[in-house]
């Protein structure tokens, strides 16, 4: 009972750990609820390491765990949710370098407790598939336009039209996040939130993105784009002094008063409502996420006045409203058709490849080129349709010229794309040819040719020395045979004179007139037995003498001579073996007096 109580207490501590750390950051001193909510959710995102997981990786994890085959209202228990989170974080650690690895178990525990506290307030131990997808897709890293496109794919039908009931369900789930960080009174769900966001009847993808990425966005979701802007300006430095705290290291946002000349505040002072001098909190402030020098501001103003800078650019690319086949572009990669199952499929009708495609199949340059061509084609088709409906018949000549210019633009883009494809193919072939070494290159290397000549010269010298040693060996063996004959004759004479045993010791003077073999100074040890194969081809007397076991002085000299010959041949073989270990080898059979040896030398 005591152990169960301690485990339950530990679980409660872990469940409240994230909220306790968030309270310690003292975010409640921020005056504006929008910034307060965005800062709290950004803290949860970073503390759970969700900012390191891109939205594309999150979609891939959904598919790997089979969530695309489940209904949105299907429920999953906490144990399976923990398994899904484990796969997400372990895959993240595989992508991160070893010096930036995260604590997987701690991240899983913090995120799991936060999700259970947010979406399972009644402690059922289960979460719906849609709530889990909405939460993870909103809180993960990545661009906000990619997140909104994925969310639109979850709340739209197969024809690309948003379903208001699905969007209402999305608002219910996503607005539980501000409630979880104690900001529910400011950004809570109401029944009129849907119509407040979209008073229109038919909502397509571009309209959905225009509304949610507008400035300002809908009031209930105003914290969502601010959270992404916070992530982008965390490391931005402004070389300006704060007018209140006099700090010269202004990081993050910078706020400039529209009424007080030269009055600027850092984000900490502005969020807390600090003001001094003639400035008041009621003055209108402009938020800056980057720093531009006065010279850059002047050049930008001049370019803008001359029309060199486009005015009013859309906050996102214009995507085709429906998944239709693009115009005939012969040298472009055809886009994949939109899948029927919209649960986990983005509306990638712009022609961009899916994120799981390999880099070799969809290089970044081609990807941008294809997306640009598809965007221009869709825009030109829309402009052509609008001009046909609005222009009177008298302007048909102007429309014809415009269509001609459009066709010329498409032709130029096709030619440029064709040149890029040819350049990529040429570079790929050059890389393959350069990575494969040829024998001609090796033969043209002067260093290798010099080493080859030296090895061949060394080989010839060793062969000549081997021939000379073989000739000396033959002469020594002939001398041994003569000595053995003299030894035998001397023994027979002594036996006939004294009538003693023929095994008595011979006189040393009998063989003094014959030349004695010279002892070799070659390195090597004396063998413990007589190599019988080295005596093949000599007289039987030599064999008989070496076969006897009675030690005699002359026999010892002969044994020393035989050992010297053997050691000389061993040193020759060792030297031949030490010439070179690499390359091909050829065998040189030495046949001299019945003796055979095999020496391996490099063959070039």
pLDDT at 184: 86
Closest by CA position to 57, among listed 180, 147, 186, 157: 147
pLDDT at 78: 93
Distance CA 152, CA 551 (A): 107
Closest by CA position to 597, among listed 568, 557, 561: 568
Residue 201 reports pLDDT greater than 90: no
Distance CA 73, CA 260 (A): 54
pLDDT at 519: 41
- Which regions of 534-594 does DSSP assign to beta strands (E)? 584-592
Q: Name the band, by pLDDT with cuts 50, 70 and 90, for residue 268.
A: very high
pLDDT at 558: 67
Say how far residue 471 (Cα) sits from the centre of its chain.
67
Report the SS3 class of residue 168: helix
pLDDT at 425: 86
Q: What is the mean pLDDT of the chain?
A: 75
Provide the percentage of residues in the chain whose pLDDT is more than 90: 33
CB 321 within 8 A of CB 206: yes
97 vs 346, higher pLDDT: 97
Residue 557 reports pLDDT greater than 60: yes
pLDDT at 304: 60
User: Around Cβ 217, how many Cβ atoms within 10 Å?
Assistant: 16
Averaged pLDDT, 259-274: 92
Closest by CA position to 107, among listed 82, 95, 89, 91: 89
Averaged pLDDT, 457-462: 87
146 vs 384, higher pLDDT: 146
Q: Is 593 left (phi over 0), alpha (psi -120 to 50) or beta?
A: left
pLDDT at 29: 93
Distance CA 469, CA 345 (A): 85
Averaged pLDDT, 207-230: 91
Residue 527 reports pLDDT greater than 70: no
Averaged pLDDT, 564-593: 57
Provide the percentage of residues in the chain whose pLDDT is more than 70: 64
Residue 87 reports pLDDT greater than 50: yes
CB 139 within 8 A of CB 37: no
Residue 192 reports pLDDT greater than 60: yes
Residue 521 reports pLDDT greater than 50: no
Distance CA 39, CA 52 (A): 17
Read off the DSSP letter of residue 317.
P
pLDDT at 312: 53
Lowest mean pLDDT among 127-141, 170-184, 546-560, 582-596: 582-596
DSSP string, 176-233: HHHHHTT-TTTS---TTHHHHH--SS---HHHHHHHHTSSS--GGGTHHHHHHHHHHH
Closest by CA position to 45, among listed 188, 234, 209: 234
Distance CA 60, CA 146 (A): 14
Distance CA 369, CA 59 (A): 25
Distance CA 101, CA 95 (A): 9
Q: Which two tokens stand for residue 209?
A: 């993105």
Averaged pLDDT, 596-601: 42
Distance CA 140, CA 231 (A): 12
Whether the upstream peptide bond of residue 216 has omega within 30° of 0, thus cis, is yes
Q: Name the band, by pLDDT with cuts 50, 70 and 90, for residue 569.
A: confident
Q: Name the band, by pLDDT with cuts 50, 70 and 90, for residue 428.
A: confident
Distance CA 212, CA 222 (A): 9
Residue 224 reports pLDDT greater than 90: yes
Residue 345 reports pLDDT greater than 70: no
How many Cα atoms sit within 13 Å of 35 on the Cβ side? Answer: 17
Lowest mean pLDDT among 106-115, 269-278, 480-489, 571-580: 571-580
* Pair type for strands 75-77 and 126-128: antiparallel
293 vs 34, higher pLDDT: 34
Which residues make beta-bridge pairs with 250?
238
Averaged pLDDT, 409-436: 83
pLDDT at 407: 81
Residue 565: burial class (beta carbons within 10 Å; 0-12, 13-18, 19+): buried
Say how far residue 413 (Cα) sits from the centre of its chain.
32
Closest by CA position to 518, among listed 465, 481, 564: 564
Distance CA 41, CA 224 (A): 9
pLDDT at 53: 96
Q: Is 159 left (phi over 0), alpha (psi -120 to 50) or beta?
A: alpha
Read off the DSSP letter of residue 342.
-
Q: Name the band, by pLDDT with cuts 50, 70 and 90, for residue 24.
A: very high
Report the SS3 class of residue 289: coil
Q: How far is CA 139 from CA 178, 400, 421, in A?
A: 12, 49, 38
Q: Which residues contact 278 (CB under 8 A, 6 or more apart)?
A: 260
Residue 542 reports pLDDT greater than 60: no
Q: How far is CA 473 from CA 396, 555, 565, 593, 597, in A?
A: 112, 18, 7, 9, 14
Residue 378 reports pLDDT greater than 70: yes
Largest CA distance in the chain: 153
Residue 128 reports pLDDT greater than 80: yes
Distance CA 4, CA 276 (A): 57
Distance CA 222, CA 116 (A): 25
Residue 10 reports pLDDT greater than 60: no
Lowest mean pLDDT among 66-80, 200-214, 301-315, 441-455: 301-315
Q: Name the band, by pLDDT with cuts 50, 70 and 90, for residue 306.
A: low
593 vs 269, higher pLDDT: 269
pLDDT at 553: 54
Q: Name the band, by pLDDT with cuts 50, 70 and 90, for residue 533.
A: very low
Q: Which residues contact 469 (CB under 8 A, 6 or more apart)?
A: 568, 569, 572
Residue 342 reports pLDDT greater than 80: no
426 vs 537, higher pLDDT: 426
Residue 27 reports pLDDT greater than 50: yes
Q: Which residues contact 54 (CB under 8 A, 6 or more apart)?
A: 140, 141, 142
């Amino acid at each position: 009972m005591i152990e169960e109580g301690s485990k339950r207490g530990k679980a409660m501590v872990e469940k409240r750990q994230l909220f306790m750390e968030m309270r310690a950051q003292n975010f409640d001193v921020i005056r504006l609820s929008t910034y307060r909510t965005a800062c709290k959710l950004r803290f949860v995102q970073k503390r759970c390491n969700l900012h390191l997981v891109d939205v594309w990786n999150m979609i891939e994890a959904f598919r790997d765990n089979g969530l695309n085959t489940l209904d949105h209202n299907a429920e999953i228990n906490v144990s399976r949710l923990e398994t899904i989170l484990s796969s997400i974080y372990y895959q993240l650690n595989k992508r991160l370098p070893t010096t930036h690895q995260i604590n997987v178990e701690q991240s899983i525990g913090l995120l799991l407790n936060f999700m259970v506290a947010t979406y399972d307030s009644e402690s059922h131990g289960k979460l719906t598939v849609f709530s889990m997808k909405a939460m993870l897709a909103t809180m993960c890293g990545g661009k906000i336009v990619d997140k909104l496109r994925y969310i639109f794919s979850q709340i739209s039908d197969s024809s690309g039209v948003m379903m208001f009931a699905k969007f209402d369900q999305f608002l219910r789930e996503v607005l539980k996040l501000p409630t979880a960080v104690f900001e529910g009174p400011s950004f809570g769900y109401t029944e009129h939130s849907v119509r407040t966001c979209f008073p229109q009847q038919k909502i397509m993808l571009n309209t959905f993105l225009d509304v949610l990425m507008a400035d300002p966005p809908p009031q209930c979701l105003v914290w969502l784009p601010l959270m992404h802007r916070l992530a982008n300006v965390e490391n931005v430095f402004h070389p300006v002094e704060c007018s209140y705290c006099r700090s010269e290291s202004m990081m993050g946002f910078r706020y400039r008063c529209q009424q007080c000349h030269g009055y600027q505040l850092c984000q900490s002072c502005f969020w807390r409502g600090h003001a001094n001098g003639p400035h008041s909190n009621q003055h209108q402030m402009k938020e800056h996420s980057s720093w531009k020098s006065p010279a850059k501001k002047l050049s930008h103003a001049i370019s803008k006045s001359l029309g060199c800078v486009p005015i009013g650019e859309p906050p996102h690319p214009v995507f085709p409203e429906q998944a239709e086949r693009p115009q005939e572009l012969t040298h472009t990669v055809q886009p994949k058709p939109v899948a029927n199952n919209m649960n986990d499929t983005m509306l990638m009708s712009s022609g961009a490849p899916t994120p799981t495609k390999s880099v070799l199949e969809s290089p970044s340059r081609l990807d941008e080129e294809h997306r640009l061509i598809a965007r221009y084609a869709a825009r030109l088709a829309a402009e052509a349709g609008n001009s046909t409906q609005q222009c009177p018949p008298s302007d048909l000549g102007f429309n014809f010229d415009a269509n001609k210019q459009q066709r010329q633009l498409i032709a130029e883009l096709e030619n440029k794309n064709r040149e890029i494809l040819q350049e990529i193919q040429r570079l790929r072939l050059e890389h393959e040819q350069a990575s494969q070494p040829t024998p001609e290159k090796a033969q043209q290397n002067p260093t290798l040719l010099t080493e080859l000549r030296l090895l061949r010269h060394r080989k010839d010298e060793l062969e000549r020395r081997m021939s000379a040693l073989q000739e000396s060996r033959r002469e020594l063996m002939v001398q041994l045979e003569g000595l053995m004959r003299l030894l035998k004759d001397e023994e027979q004479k002594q036996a006939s004179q004294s009538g003693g045993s023929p095994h008595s010791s011979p006189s040393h003077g009998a063989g003094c007139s014959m030349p004695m073999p010279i002892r070799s100074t070659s390195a090597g040890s004396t063998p413990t037995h007589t190599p019988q194969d080295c005596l093949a081809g000599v007289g039987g007397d030599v064999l008989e003498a070496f076969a006897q076991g009675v030690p005699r002085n002359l026999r010892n000299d002969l044994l020393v001579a035989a050992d010297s010959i053997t050691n000389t041949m061993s040193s020759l073989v060792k030297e031949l073996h030490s010439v070179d270990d690499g390359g091909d080898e050829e065998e040189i059979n030495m046949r001299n007096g019945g003796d055979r040896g095999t020496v391996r030398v490099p063959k070039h």
